[in-house]
């Protein structure tokens, strides 16, 4: 991979390798483990991604924050021995390409499928993630079916957003969508979503753009090739059970995840590709 002037390779104290971007438009960090971006800060603005202060950046473990890649299944697998949210978020990805212009930096990674356990994923496929970084962040996750038979998968870009006060934070733009929560019957969202308890809402038929209203400003969260998304905050009791998560950090984060889940899961025909896209930016 040929680097550009704004891009360098760095390592954490624990040895994890990441791509560091310091361009005229933004600062960012992209880890090869998990193909996971953990920092995106437009110049002159607040960070758009949150990472737990308890994160220890260990090998073979998903990083608590940024945008973990949940693939090729979201949530628990039918086989309880399989890892939750798939294997992509803990696998070691390969840096593929860096391209920089005066307008943006593009970083592409690919998952080495030859190293994937065939018990988890017996299909011939490729997986690539592309980060387009300027004043906004675009993440493009592309799955290609290289075989002669179709396969199905679900996925999510599990984006952690920051807020200084979850009690004064709300999400607009989900009105009219259906959600399920904790396995209960579907409900239609009728109003702006605020937070006063554990939230784990899986939405379908969702509009392509939502906004997160925080004390620091308004964040726009867009999706393409996706009509489903997930809204999550662990609240008080679940925070105590989470790894790499301080007991009170639920006050300072929420997840709003671009997804293909439930009836929005993807069945991919032979030789075809599907790209899940999320676009995040500050509106104010």
* Active-site residue set: 158, 257
Residue 166: C-alpha distances to residues 66, 84, 173, 243, 273 (Å) = 17, 26, 18, 20, 37
Burial group, residue 275, by CB count within 10 angstroms (0-12, 13-18, 19+)? middle
Residue whose C-alpha is closest to residue 212's, from 244, 247, 257, 243: 257
Report the C-alpha gap between 152 and 265 in whole angstroms: 7
Under a CB-based contact definition with an 8 Å cutoff, are residues 110 and 56 in contact?
no
Q: How far apart are the first and last CA of the chain?
A: 36
Q: What is the DSSP letter of 239?
A: H
């Amino acid at each position: 991979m040929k680097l550009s002037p704004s891009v360098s390779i760095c390592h954490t104290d624990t040895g994890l390798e990441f791509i560091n971007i310091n361009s005229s438009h933004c600062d960012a960090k992209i880890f090869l483990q998990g193909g996971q971006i953990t920092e995106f800060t437009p110049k002159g603005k607040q960070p758009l991604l949150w990472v737990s202060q308890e994160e220890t950046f260990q090998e073979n473990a998903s990083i608590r924050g940024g945008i973990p890649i949940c693939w090729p299944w979201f949530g628990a697998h039918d086989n309880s021995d399989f890892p939750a949210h798939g294997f992509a978020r803990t696998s070691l990805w390969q840096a593929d390409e860096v391209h920089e212009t005066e307008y943006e930096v593009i970083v592409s990674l690919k998952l080495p499928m030859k190293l994937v356990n065939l018990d988890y994923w017996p299909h011939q496929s490729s997986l690539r993630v592309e980060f387009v970084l300027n004043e906004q962040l675009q993440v493009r996750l592309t799955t290609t079916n290289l075989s002669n038979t179709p396969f199905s998968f679900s996925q999510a870009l599990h984006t952690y957003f920051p807020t200084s006060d979850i009690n004064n934070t709300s999400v607009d733009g989900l009105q009219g969508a259906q959600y399920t929560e904790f396995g209960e019957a579907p409900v239609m969202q009728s109003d702006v979503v605020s937070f006063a308890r554990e939230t784990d809402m899986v939405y379908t038929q969702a509009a392509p753009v939502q906004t997160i209203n925080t004390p620091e400003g308004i964040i726009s969260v867009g999706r393409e090739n996706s009509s489903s998304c997930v809204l999550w905050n662990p609240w008080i009791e679940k925070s105590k059970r989470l790894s790499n998560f301080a007991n009170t950090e639920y006050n300072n984060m929420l997840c709003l995840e671009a997804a293909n889940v439930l009836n929005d899961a993807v069945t991919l025909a032979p030789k075809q590709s599907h790209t899940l896209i999320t676009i995040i930016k500050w509106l104010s």
